[in-house]
Amino acid sequence: MTRRTTSTACLLLVLAAAPADALADNSFSIRVNSSWIGDSSFDVVSDNDLFAQAEFTFARRLLSFWRGEVWVDAAYVAGTAKSDLFDGQTKTRALLQNVTFGARYAYPVFSWLVPYSRLGLGVGVGTFELESVVGASTVQDRAAAFAGHFLLGVELLWPRRALLTGTSYLTAGILVEAGYGFGSRLGFDLTPEGDEDLKQIPLAGVDIGGLSTNGWQLRVGGILRF
């Protein structure tokens, strides 16, 4: 057996014997969320039923339970949508943000393959803006509502042993999730701003109804465990 063959065999044995990333108790991830929202109210702020958002999530391992792991997490999700109404004479824009706190149960099959389920509950905040091209006027309102999600996902990890200590591990990888986003409707009340220096009929607000963002979701992103 040549020296190169012996070295290669020893390296493979070391990698095979290396422990998994079980000591990585924290994770940070960035996801791209694509939601399919079929509710007709969403047509007011979007030209199609697909809505893309960015998500930033921090999670921490809480305990081991029934051969798996319980994690808690905090997530911030944000995205914008816009639409043209009445042949482009009216434009709408919306900024939709969610802050959720939740938990997930992970069941590591291998050190690099970790399926899990995830539940998050929190609050959704929306900013809606309507611009009339004809009258050159803009009205805006903000609203808050309950928001949440239930997802099934899998992490594909690449474990890398830390250089400075044998008790700490750094792991990076990708994740894929699919599930459903839910919540109560965002209610917007649009009131045009009047000019206090002009005598005019008082302006009243108009309730445009509730905006629903419930829909099926696909989330893909990168994750760093430490």
In SS3 terms, 11-70 reads as: HHHHHHHCCCCCCCCEEEEEEEEEEECCCHHHHHCCCCCEEEEEEEEEEEEEEEECCEEE
**Per-residue pLDDT for 3 more than 60?**
no
Which residues, at least 6 apart from 165, have a Cβ–Cβ distance to it below 8 Å?
Answer: none
Give the pLDDT confidence score for residue 159 in this predicted structure: 67
According to DSSP H, which parts of the chain are helical? 3-17
Higher pLDDT, 191 or 57: 57
Q: Which two tokens stand for residue 141?
A: 């309102």
Q: What is the CB-side half-sphere exposure of residue 184 using CA atoms within 13 A? A: 10
Cβ-contact 74, 57 below 8 angstroms: yes
Round to whole Å and give the CA distance between 159 and 92: 46
Give the pLDDT confidence score for residue 204 in this predicted structure: 41
Question: Cα-Cα-Cα-Cα dihedral of 52, 53, 58, 59, to 10°?
Answer: -40
Q: What is the pLDDT of residues 209-225, one digit of tens each?
A: 689 999 999 999 999 99
Q: Count how many residues are written for the chain.
A: 226
Q: What is the pLDDT of residues 6-20, one digit of tens each?
A: 454 443 333 333 344
Q: What is the pLDDT of residues 41-87, one digit of tens each?
A: 898 889 889 999 999 999 999 999 888 999 999 999 999 999 887 77
| Among the four given CATH numbers 2.40.160, 1.10.3470, 1.20.1440, 3.30.450, the one describing domain 28-225 | 2.40.160
Q: What is the pLDDT of residues 158-180, one digit of tens each?
A: 866 544 445 456 889 999 999 99
Cβ-contact 79, 51 below 8 angstroms: yes
Q: What is the pLDDT of residues 84-127, one digit of tens each?
A: 877 778 889 999 999 999 999 999 999 899 999 999 999 999 99
Give the pLDDT confidence score for residue 160 in this predicted structure: 62
5: three-class secondary structure by DSSP: helix
Taking the complete model, does pTM exceed 0.85, yes or no?
no
Round to whole Å and give the CA distance between 67 and 125: 37
Give the pLDDT confidence score for residue 193 in this predicted structure: 55
What does the DSSP 8-state code read for residue 165? -
